Structure 1
C-alpha cells in the first residue's frame, strides 16, 4: 500500500500523521493564516524528511494513496464573523423571524436586513426581490420556503430564477435551495444549514481547490479527501462546506474512541488543548454522544455533530488580572505574534510563557528545536501582566497562573460528568494533564504516543463515507423500492468518483421521520412522511494499535535533567520501551509535547507506547 496521510490544520499549528502500512510518522508546522496551502505543503515537506522520500516533496506526494485533510477555517470564520454577505428568501415574515430568533447574533452578521418575503406565486415579484438583495450587497442567496410543498415550490423558483438570470449572469451570485441541501428537514434547520453553508463556502472552495491543484501538480494518486464533522471523508467536490465546521475536534474524537475502546475505559474525558481553545469530549463505553441534528453556536442545523464543547483556554490564551483574579482568555495571541517567548512581537503573557519560566519546557528543544524560546521576554510579560498587578514575586505569579489555568479546564472537565480516566492530547494537553486531573478528582491519565498530533492521528480512522437522501411522502413498498434504486444510482456515481466500486462498500439504510434520529426501515409506518437515507461506507486501512497492557517492568533511566532552580529527571519517550516506569516529580517529553509529572504521580509506558499515569493511592 501507499502512504496514508492525515492533516489537521489548526489556528496556530498544523499537524501531520502518516501510516505506511507498518509504522506511524508525524510532523508539525506553523499555520500560515494568510495562505493555508503554504502550511499544507510545508507540513508535507516536513513529513518527507522523515520518510524514504528523504525530503523530496514531489516524491512524497507521488507515494500517497489517500490524503485526508481537516481545517479550522470554517470554525474560525464563524467565531470571527468573517465571510460574505448572505441574502435570505422566505415565503413569510414569520419564517424570517423564526430563523432570526434561533441565533439572532449570528443572523445579524450573516443576513442582517438582507431578506425578502415572496409567496412563490408571482415569479416577477420574486425576480425583483433578487435584484434588490443583490443591490443590498448580498453575494450569496439562500432560498428557504416553509410548508409541506417546500421542495416543489423551491424547484419551481429555481427554474424561474435561472430562466430570468442565465448562469453567466447569476453565476456571480450563487443560489442555494434549502430543500436540495437538506431534504426533509424542518424550516429552521434547512434555513440555518443553508445560511451557514453559504457563508463558509467561498473561502473553503477557494482554498481547497487551490490545495487540490497544488497536489495534482505534484502527481498525487487520488483526489484530496476532506475530513468532515460526521467522522467521514469525501473528495472536495462532494464536500458540503458546513460539514467542515468543527471537523478538527472530531478527529480527536475518532482517535479518542479508538483509544478508549482499546484500553477498555468505561468512562473517560478527553482534553485537546491547542493554541486557542481546549476541546472536551466524554466517552461512555468508548463512544462520544452525538446529536443527529446539531447546532452551530445556537443555530440549529440538519447535520450530525458530536458533542465536543470548548473552553477558551489554550497555550496561546492571554493571561491577565481582572479585579485581583487571573483571567484565562478568551483572547488568544494566535500563531502571530504568538506568546511573548516566541520573540515575534508578542507582549502578552500566556501559559506557554509561564511554563517556560516554570522550567517545564526547554527553550532550546521546544517544537522539536524548530523554535527557540526567549526566557527574558517571557519573564517581562509575566512580570508586567501578572506579577505586578497581583503584588507577587515572579515565581509565585508563575505558580498562581498554573493553578488558575488548570482550574479553568478542570471545571469544564468536571461539568461533563464522573470519569475514571483523563485522556490528554494536543500540543499543550500533556503539560497540564496531571494538574487538571487532580483538580477534577480524576486519578488516572492517559497520554497517547501521538498526543501532539492526535487529531490528525484520529483522522486516520476515518472511512470514505457518502450520504444520500430522498424525501418521501409515504413509505409504501413501491415508493421505497423506487427511492432505493435512485439512491443506489447516486451512490454508485459518488463512489466511482472516489475510485471505489459500490460493491466494496457497506450500505446502511435508515429513515428520518419528523426530524427525529435515523431509525431502521422496518420500524417505519408505510403512511409516514420523511426521508430515506443511504450511507455508503468504504473502509481504508487504519493505524495499528499495540498491546493495551501496561505492567511496570523496568525502572526507567533519565536522559538528563530539566531546570536550574529545582532540577528534575528528564525522560525522552523516544528512548523508552513498554514497561519502563518512573515517579514524579519529573518531566517526560516527546519531540512535540512535554508532560509534567508532579509529586505523588507515577507513570508507565504501555504496550502501545502510550504514557499511563496514576495518582498515589489510586488503586485499592
Structure 2
C-alpha cells in the first residue's frame, strides 16, 4: 500500500494518521459536531500539508490509495443519549417484549422509546381493515413525537410478517413524500430468532443511523466531486471495513475504540506482553479493553452499553469520562460526566465560550500542560478562563481554595477511571496498562496507582493510536440466514443464496468472484449449549440436525492484513536530556520545578525519574514521584513504579 489516510473521529478531536510507503505521520483537528464532514475535510487538508509542505487536498485525493474512517460518534451518542426519538411497533403475541426490553436497561429504553409503542393485533395481516390499523399506529407514534419507527415481530414467520407490513407502509407512506417517516424492520438487519436481542439491535441501529448517514454520504459526495479513484472505507467494530453504502450504523458503534484495540494487539505482540489493559481516553469517553491469551476478546453476540445485540462486537467498555467531561459539585463531592463540553465550546481554557470545569482545565492550572505548545501549538490555552470555571463550579461550591480543588479534581478523575478498570477487566500482577488517546497518557501513572498496576506503556503514536490501529484491516461482508429443520439440501440452497448476495456486495467493494475468500459456518443451540461448525463441504453434522433452528453464517473477506514478526524492547541506556523546566502542582510538595522531556528529542534507551513531564505535539504524560521511564528502540515509553 502506497499512501493511506486513517481518520478517527472523536467527540472533541479528530485524529489523522498518514502512512506513506513505510513512513508514519500524524495530525489532529477539532471535531465539528454540527457538520462532521467539515472536520473530515479539514483533516484531509491538514494531512496534505504534512505530506506536501502545503495544503493540497486535490492532489492528496488524486494520489491516495485508501481512506479509512472510524468514529466514536455512536459511542458518544449512546453515552449522552443524543439521537432521534424512536417509536416501536410490535404485535399482541409479543407484547411482553416491552417488559423484557426495559429490564435490559430501563434508562436507555426510556431515553430511546419510552411510551412510544404501538401493539397490533395478532391477526392483523389477515384482517380486511389492516391498512387502516397500520396507518393509525404510525400516525399515533409520530403524533407522540417519534421521528423514526422500528417494526419488530415475533414468531417463526417474523420475516414474512414484517415484509407484509412493509408493503402496506410503503404504499401509504412513499419514501419520496416530504414528511414520510423512516421505518426500520428488525428482519432487515438480522435473522436472529431471539426477539428481544433482535429488537434491541434494530432500536440501537435506528438511533445511530441518522447522524452516521448524514455525515458519511455528505463526505462521500464531496470526495466524488474531487474524482477520488477509491471509495471511502468505514472501519467497523468487528475489525474489518467496508464502503459507506455497505456499512450498518450499529457496527460503527465503538469502531474508533476497536481501532485502538487492534493497535493494542499489535503493540503487545511487538514487545511480547501477554496481559495488557488499555485505556483510550478521548474528550468524551474512556474506552477500556484487554489483550489476554493472545487475543482481544470478541463476542458473537456483542454488547452495546451492556445490552446484548445480534452482531459480533469487540468487548470494549466505554465509560463516560474524558478530557472534556464536565466536573460538577454535587452533595459535597465531585461528580464527573457523562456529559461533555465536546469540541464546541470545548473546555473553558479553549477560549471558545465554555464555562464548565474539565480535567483539561485542571491540568493546565496544575502546570501539566504548556499553554503555548498544546495541540502542536495551534491552540493557545487561556488559564484565566480555566481558573474561573474551576472556581465557579468546584472550588466555591465545595468550600475549597483553587489549589485544593485542582488536587481533588485530579484524584476524582483518576479514581473514576481506575474503578472502571476494575469493574470491566481482570487485573493481575502481570498486567500492563497501555495508555493512549489524546488524554490517555496525561494521568496514566495516577490511574495505574489507584488500580494497583505497576507498569504503564505509552505508544509513540498514542495521540492517534486508534487511527494508527486501523492501518491494516480486511474488507469484508457478513451474511446470515436461519433455517428450521436443516438438511444437506436446504443447506446448499441457503449457502447459494448467501453467496449470491456476497458476489453482489463484494463486486460493489471492487472485488470480482475469485478475488475474495468465503468462510461459512453453522451455529445452533443444542441441549442448552451453543455449538458451531466451520463448513468445508455441504455435509450437516448430526448434532445440528437435532436443533430446532440453525443459523448459517457466511463471511466474504478480501484479506489485506500482513503478519509482521517485528520485535522491540525497552533497555536502559543514557539519562534523558532535559528539554526545559516547568512549575508543577504536586500532592506532597505543592508547586515545584520539574524537568520536561520532549519525546521527539529522546533516543533509544533514554531514561529518567519522576516527578517529570514527557510531551510531544499532541499528548502530555505526567511521570509521578516514585516512577521511572525508559524509551524503547521503537520510540515508545515504558513507565515503572519504583520499589
Q: TM-score, normalised by structure 1?
A: 0.93
Work out the CA distance in 2 between the residues paired with 1:320 and 1:198.
Answer: 32
- Displacement of 1:145 in angstroms is 1.9
Q: Which runs of 5+ in 2 are unaligned?
A: 585-590
Secondary structure of 1:34's partner? Answer: coil
Structure-2 change in CA distance of 1:352 and 1:544 (3 Å): farther
Residues 102-111 or 471-480, more deviating: 102-111
Instruction: Please tell me whether residue 205 in structure 1 is matched to residue 213 in structure 2.
Output: yes
Structure-2 change in CA distance of 1:325 and 1:459 (3 Å): same
Instruction: Please tell me whether residue 131 in structure 1 is matched to residue 151 in structure 2.
Output: no
Secondary structure of 1:496's partner? Answer: helix
Structure-2 change in CA distance of 1:374 and 1:148 (3 Å): same
Instruction: Please tell me whether residue 455 in structure 1 is matched to residue 469 in structure 2.
Output: no
Check whether the contact 1:86–1:199 (CA below 8 A) recurs between aligned residues. Answer: no
Give 1:190-269 correspondences, 5 Å limit: 190-269=198-277
Secondary structure of 2:486's partner? Answer: coil
Matched residue, 1:587:
613
Work out the CA distance in 2 between the residues paired with 1:385 and 1:113.
Answer: 37
Residues 512-521 or 255-264, more deviating: 512-521
Question: Of 351, 354, 360, which residue of structure 1 is paired with 2:368?
Answer: 360
Instruction: Please tell me whether residue 560 in structure 1 is matched to residue 563 in structure 2.
Output: no
Matched residue, 1:509:
520
Work out the CA distance in 1 between the residues paired with 2:174 and 2:364.
Answer: 61
Matched residue, 2:81:
80
Work out the CA distance in 1 between the residues paired with 2:383 and 2:372.
Answer: 10
Q: Over residues 33-73 of structure 1, what are the superposed CA-to-partner deviations in whole Å (9 max), with x where a residue is unaligned?
A: 11100000001111111113731011112222221212233
- Displacement of 1:381 in angstroms is 2.6
Structure-2 change in CA distance of 1:545 and 1:587 (3 Å): farther
Check whether the contact 1:96–1:115 (CA below 8 A) recurs between aligned residues. Answer: no
Check whether the contact 2:457–2:636 (CA below 8 A) recurs between aligned residues. Answer: yes
- Displacement of 1:399 in angstroms is 2.5
Matched residue, 2:191:
183
Check whether the contact 1:209–1:236 (CA below 8 A) recurs between aligned residues. Answer: yes
Q: Over residues 210-255 of structure 1, what are the superposed CA-to-partner deviations in whole Å (9 max), with x where a residue is unaligned?
A: 1100111122222111112222211111111121222222222121
Work out the CA distance in 2 between the residues paired with 1:313 and 1:593.
Answer: 17
Instruction: Please tell me whether residue 478 in structure 1 is matched to residue 489 in structure 2.
Output: yes
Structure-2 change in CA distance of 1:471 and 1:443 (3 Å): same
Matched residue, 2:534:
520
Check whether the contact 2:445–2:624 (CA below 8 A) recurs between aligned residues. Answer: yes
Work out the CA distance in 2 between the residues paired with 1:211 and 1:452.
Answer: 24
Work out the CA distance in 1 between the residues paired with 2:286 and 2:173.
Answer: 47
Work out the CA distance in 2 between the residues paired with 1:492 and 1:606.
Answer: 46
Q: Over residues 128-154 of structure 1, what are the superposed CA-to-partner deviations in whole Å (9 max), with x where a residue is unaligned?
A: 232113323154443322112222333
Secondary structure of 1:555's partner? Answer: coil
Matched length: 617
Matched residue, 1:115:
118
Work out the CA distance in 2 between the residues paired with 1:300 and 1:411.
Answer: 23
Secondary structure of 1:452's partner? Answer: helix
Matched residue, 2:457:
446
Secondary structure of 1:465's partner? Answer: strand
Secondary structure of 1:552's partner? Answer: coil
Q: Over residues 52-110 of structure 1, what are the superposed CA-to-partner deviations in whole Å (9 max), with x where a residue is unaligned?
A: 37310111122222212122333333332421443423352334444444444434444
Secondary structure of 1:487's partner? Answer: helix
Matched residue, 2:328:
320
Q: Which runs of 5+ in 1 are unaligned?
A: none
Work out the CA distance in 2 between the residues paired with 1:178 and 1:328.
Answer: 36
- Displacement of 1:162 in angstroms is 4.6
Q: Over residues 360-383 of structure 1, what are the superposed CA-to-partner deviations in whole Å (9 max), with x where a residue is unaligned?
A: 110000011111011222223333
- Displacement of 1:583 in angstroms is 2.0
- Displacement of 1:525 in angstroms is 2.0
Work out the CA distance in 1 between the residues paired with 2:401 and 2:149.
Answer: 57
Work out the CA distance in 2 between the residues paired with 1:445 and 1:285.
Answer: 19
Work out the CA distance in 2 between the residues paired with 1:326 and 1:164.
Answer: 53
Residues 433-442 or 521-530, more deviating: 521-530
Instruction: Please tell me whether residue 350 in structure 1 is matched to residue 358 in structure 2.
Output: yes
- Displacement of 1:477 in angstroms is 1.9
Matched residue, 2:511:
500
- Displacement of 1:390 in angstroms is 4.2
Work out the CA distance in 2 between the residues paired with 1:396 and 1:613.
Answer: 27
Check whether the contact 2:81–2:111 (CA below 8 A) recurs between aligned residues. Answer: no
Structure-2 change in CA distance of 1:169 and 1:372 (3 Å): closer
- Displacement of 1:285 in angstroms is 2.5
Work out the CA distance in 2 between the residues paired with 1:446 and 1:229.
Answer: 24
- Displacement of 1:167 in angstroms is 5.7
Work out the CA distance in 1 between the residues paired with 2:447 and 2:565.
Answer: 27
Q: Over residues 367-422 of structure 1, what are the superposed CA-to-partner deviations in whole Å (9 max), with x where a residue is unaligned?
A: 11111011222223333433344444433332232222212211222332224200
Check whether the contact 2:438–2:619 (CA below 8 A) recurs between aligned residues. Answer: yes
Structure-2 change in CA distance of 1:307 and 1:380 (3 Å): same
Matched residue, 2:15:
15
Structure-2 change in CA distance of 1:518 and 1:451 (3 Å): farther
Check whether the contact 1:549–1:606 (CA below 8 A) recurs between aligned residues. Answer: yes
Matched residue, 2:588:
none
Residues 10-19 or 64-73, more deviating: 64-73
Work out the CA distance in 2 between the residues paired with 1:385 and 1:105.
Answer: 27
Work out the CA distance in 2 between the residues paired with 1:220 and 1:157.
Answer: 40
Give 1:93-104 correspondences, 5 Å limit: 93-104=95-106
